[in-house]
Amino acid sequence: MFNSFKRSLPEISIFHLPTSAPSTKALALLRSSLSGPYPPTNPKKPPLEFTLSVVEDVPTPDQLTTILSYLPSKTASPASAFISAHWPDERPDNVKGIATLAKEHPGALRWPIVVDWADGQAAVGDVEGVKGILETLRKKRDGEAKEEEVYKPKGWFS
């Protein structure tokens, strides 16, 4: 009866730069997965359920540290994960420096930065990575992925 209280919707944040084409495409993809069938190729499927947070600002250094730990491949430096390959100037070697640089020059960052805080997944500058996050949510919805084990105490009614 009370199991519904234990389960909350996954929270996905997109750190979004409206002038970035990949960021705009990722945001459209996230919004369409909430409002229409997902995957879009199967109209009989319902939309995904998650809370979408659109942040038109740079992540904080603490957020960048967490996001770095969520990335599927561990990079040699934070700069290689977050700074655009086209950035011609000096690259900071720590997350605090990256956050400062991005505040001053938003184009230096790889946009979008999409994070599934509940599952510990992130995609930086890559729409395909966003599709991977959505696919994980779809698999959970459709019962193809194993949910985390919920604590079920043994007691009178078990």
Strand residues in the chain grouped as ranges (E):
11-15, 51-55, 113-116, 121-124
pLDDT digit string (tens) for 114-128?
Answer: 999 999 999 999 999
Given this model, what pLDDT does residue 97 score?
95
Return averaged pLDDT per consecutive 10 residues of the chain, 158 residues in all.
Answer: 65 96 97 95 94 96 94 80 88 93 94 95 94 94 69 49
In the chain, domain spans: 9-141
For domain 9-141, is the CATH number 3.40.30.10? yes
Say what the pTM is: 0.85
| CA gap 144, 133 in Å, rounded | 14
CB 106 within 8 A of CB 17: yes
Report strand pairing: 51-55 vs 11-15: parallel
CB 102 within 8 A of CB 58: yes
Three-class secondary structure assignment of 65-120: HHHHHHCCCCCCCHHHHHECCCCCCCCCCCHHHHHHHHHHCHHHECCCEEEECCCC
